[in-house]
Structure 1
Amino acid sequence: MRAENLNETNNAFHLTLEIVNELWTKTYNTDGKPDWSHILPYYDDKIYFRDSIQEIKGMTEFKAMTERLTKRSKDLKMKLVRVIQKDNDFFLEWEMTISYKKYPSSVMYGASRLTINNNGKIIEQRDYYDLWGDIFDNIPRFGKAYRKFMKKKFG
């Protein structure tokens, strides 16, 4: 089913480019802790989520992951750089600033692919980012050493 045909569904939680922009910005730019309560209805109960460190199946596990992130972080903000749609996939390029309880803020640069099902809900999310590189960049001298090592060994 092509994305433009999804507007014909009866789903009250149908995603559009405008809604994705609004939801992701609102989720992370609240005062203090992030809040996913307004975005969770857009996810299918059988959501499959994967990122650099974890693989999650189902809404129960997905909600638990969002709660863990909320507990770990002191502050979280997301800037959407680009959001595009191709058929049933949304591609988000983002910059996330996260502040953990005992550490300074770190900016992580990444991208997400959201795939919606025929009901217009997110059935799959894949996040891509370099967790360690972006965190290490904020540690004096260590960040430069890490990047030098990566370039020497892999680039």
Structure 2
Amino acid sequence: MKKLLIATLLGLTAASAQVQAKTLLVYYSFTGNIEKAAVAVKDQTSTDVIQIQPAQKGLNYAANNYSLGSDLVDQIRSKPNDASSYPAIDPVDVDFSKYDTIIIGTPLWWSNMAAPMQTFLFHNGKAMAGKKIGLIVSSASSGISG
């Protein structure tokens, strides 16, 4: 009887944890396509949403065939373990312990994740370890690589 009671309590605890499980969608959107997807997810679910913003405002990543965005991605690629190779983003305060699922929303720049989102993941990736991860990407022309 004692084992049955313990098993039942463990089952109820697990079921309760699943009911309380939360999802976080973190997104960066330059042209608005990923933002539209993030809003649609938020409108149809109880997902919390955080938008990533570059610290330097007013940059036109699309100018000169996305040369600025391409340069930022190249800097990251050349020194992926160096924090100084990532462009600064506005501070983001997230308690990852509240979430069991995290969805990342980002455009692709020359087949790579946009640099501001790479910055967020560089600084927060370890805190997301063990979470279920989803991905929403948009691209005008390129596919996913690397």
TM-score range, shorter chain: under 0.3
The structure where helix makes up a greater share of residues is: 2
Higher relative contact order (CA 8 A, sep 6+): 2
Normalised TM-score (structure 1)? 0.24
